[in-house]
Structure 1
Amino acid sequence: MYRTELAQLAGLPFAKGHATGNDFVLLADPEAKHEVTPEQVAALCHRRFGIGGDGLIRAVPTSQVPGFEQQALEQPKAYWFMDYRNNDGSIAEMCGNGVRAFVHFLLAEGLVNIPIGASLLIGSRAGVKEVTRLADGYAANLGPWGLIFEEQAAADSVDSMVKPRGWEQALPALSITMGNPHTVAALPDAQMLENLDLFSAPEVSPAPPNGSNVEFVVPSEPLITDGVAQLKMRVHERGVGETLSCGTGACAAAAAMRYWARGTALINQWAVEVPGGLVGVEFAPTDDGKEDTILSGPAALVARGVIGAN
């Protein structure tokens, strides 16, 4: 099966990249000629029969993506669209690590020119995102976060229950949207986090309508060092499994911890340790009374090639 799906893409150049270990197959499609099927995505992302990756990202003009023509008209500077698919071929709205890897890929391909300190607008299924090039990586403004079950969360500070594989008792959790869905549960210590079995998806009840990524977090002790709050996180990504990092998940984890601690001083700077490294999360107030969520961290390309015919 995988050989047939890959043969249909024979001759297509690709790159392999990652952002704190969250890895992706990257395709440049400036003429929108290579719409990939879910089966082809799953074949390319398979770690034994394909190239391997947590997902696939296709670079295509926003104006050429069905259903997003209006986004292109309203935000013409967002020329490039991040067509992101999960490892299993399912469509995902946004990936915070992926958008950093995507912009790094565009830069390496010569499709954009972004000096250090300059920004680029990117189209996505979660809206237009602004990515700034840093000296040592990229900062992606993912926009405002929100509560998926707002009424329940406001009443109880939790709105869901999460049950990891092998556990008899579920944990209280908070479901947060970063343009894509997340459910965050806190654990009391790092050893418990280390011992979690995330081979299969944790049970979430009630589950967000389109499923959920699930983050387990442990705050550092002390929580704040030099003005930055710190926490550790592991994640099971919807349609993928456990990944070494999840950018929107790191933002959701910080947002949940911040929400639970809202009776104390508001913390705007966070450092989130994931198995693949360290990412930064910043909450920045906006003129309309909301706040943007800014994710920062590195991105790298590790390989290039051409998909083979057999």
Structure 2
Amino acid sequence: MSSAPQTSPRTTSLPLASLAGMAFAKGHGTGNDFVLVADPDGARDIVPEQVAALCDRHRGIGADGLIRAVRSAALPEGRYLLASHPEAEWFMDYRNGDGSVSEMCGNGVRAFVHFLAEEGLVPLAEGQALTIGTRAGIKVVTRSANGYAVDMGPWEFIFPEAAAERALDSLVETDGLEVDRPALSVSMGNPHTVVALADEDELLSADLHRAPRVDPVPPQGTNVEFVVPAEPLVTDGVGHIRMRVHERGVGETLSCGTGACAAAAATRHWAGDEAVDDWQVRVPGGTVRVRFIPGPEGREHVELSGPAELVARGVLV
């Protein structure tokens, strides 16, 4: 397999002077970190070069992405969702670390809602739920004693015919692994390609400084997850896997919420008779829980739960 290497350069070529005075917070979910800004009325036009500069870990604040909290009514995508979900007052405007627009981010959703609550923009007590808008549709987030649970909506195979026939649909070439590996592509509203590895030595050998090469690559590009099932796979009714991930427009991250959901979905598909609905996914930044639950429209949904923290606040100069 051959394909051009994907790169996600970050640049500080555009001065950030126009953003001077902008307040921000720094937050993360299991190590997947974000710059968060409140822009309720959509007054700020933060262009991709500025996002990349803010997320630069050497010359900026440093993050895997930027999340802008904006009222849904202030964005065309948000107004579209309000037509059917008027309760979705807030929209998560998410950008990857290279400035590119992304559909959404599972860890970012938890950080976003925690930011809204801590900023006093929404009241959200333990046990209460909040409906928000994202480019991947409506998400319902419930606050718990130790974090947030997100109904991520339905999942599906990106190449359903191939998945049904042979449970694999692409090949992935990765630095550090000697041969191309078969994979399964899953959509969580954003694209993922999941590779099963034999053991943790292989998982540690994968060099994710450069994006893996996927053939065929999904139309919008893809995030690539490398997964090692536990032995035994299921303990006390809970499946266990370990995962690393290379995110589109970011690089390797300590965690990826939608990636954890996709990895659990693919492993569950491969497991056959051993499949369960409750999974613990261990990533370099911690552990998240993934559950498969009935959806209101008859399609199976995925629930992601885990912690979210704010670690710093500041003002750009």
Q: For 2:263 and 2:43, how far apart are their aligned partners in 1? A: 38
Counterpart of 1:277 in structure 2 is 286
**1:67 CA displacement:** 3.7
| Selected match of 1:162 from 135, 155, 172 | 172
Assess, with a 3 A threshold, how the Cα gap between structure 1 residues 266 and 289 changes in structure 2: closer, same or farther: farther
> Is the CA contact (8 Å cut-off) linking 2:234 and 2:274 kept in structure 1?
no
Corresponding residue of 2:265: 255
Shift of 1:167: 3.7
In the alignment, the residues of structure 2 paired with residue 217 and residue 266 of structure 1 have an alpha-carbon distance, to the nearest angstrom, of 16
| Counterpart in the other structure of 1:21 | 31
| 1:152 equivalent in alignment to 2:162 | yes
Q: TM-score, normalised by structure 1?
A: 0.97
SS across alignment from 2:66 = strand
Off by >6 Å, runs of 4+ in structure 1: none
Alignment deviations for residues 55-79 of structure 1 (CA, whole Å, 9 cap, x no partner):
0000001111124322122211110
| Corresponding letter in the other structure for 1:294 | E
Partner residue of 1:295 out of 265, 283, 304: 304
Kept after mapping to 1: 8 A contact 2:177/2:206 = no
Question: What does 1:189-204 align with in structure 2 at a 5 Å threshold?
Answer: 189-204=199-214
Give the match's secondary structure for 2:258: helix
What SS is found at the alignment partner of 1:239?
Answer: coil
Distance 1:209 1:113 in 2: 39
Among candidates 32, 56, 59, match of residue 69 of structure 2: 59
Residues 150 and 102 (structure 1), Cα distance of their counterparts in 2 relative to 1, 3 Å cut:
same
What corresponds to 1:81 in structure 2?
91
Offset of 1:265 from its aligned partner? Answer: 4.1
> Match of 2:16, SS?
helix
Q: Does 1:207 align with 2:217?
A: yes
Q: Which runs of 5+ in 1 are unaligned?
A: none
**What letter is aligned with 1:292?**
H
Specify every segment of 5 or more residues in structure 2 that has no aligned partner in the other structure, as ranges.
Answer: 1-10
- Cα distance in 2 for residues equivalent to 1:92 and 1:216: 21
**1:242-277, CA deviations, whole angstroms, 9 ceiling, x for partnerless residues?**
000000000000000011123x04300000000000
1:187, CA displacement in angstroms? 0.3
Q: Could you tell me whether the CA contact under 8 Å between 2:14 and 2:49 is conserved in 1?
A: no
**Aligned partners of 2:287 and 2:59: how far apart in 1?**
30
* Deviations, residues 13-69 of structure 1 (Å, cap 9, x unaligned): 000000000000000001211121001100100001110000000000111112432
TM-score scaled by structure 2?
A: 0.95
- Aligned residue in 2 for 1:307: 316
Q: Which residue of 1 aligns with 2:126?
A: 116
| Count of matched residue pairs | 307
Deviation at 1:194, TM superposition (A): 1.1
Aligned pair partner of 2:101 in 63, 88, 91: 91
C-alpha change, 1:201 and 1:13, in structure 2 (3 Å) is: same
Q: Give, in whole Å, the separation in 1 of the partners of 2:316 and 2:205.
A: 38
2 CA distance for matches of 1:195 and 1:168?
Answer: 10
Aligned-pair identity (%):
61
2: CA distance, partners of 1:287 / 1:131: 15
CA RMSD of superposed structures (Å): 1.2
Aligned AA for 1:233? M
Task: Compute the displacement of 1:166 (Å).
Answer: 4.1
Query: 1:177 and 1:4 mapped to 2: Cα distance?
Result: 34
Q: 2:57 pairs with 42, 47, 50, which one?
A: 47
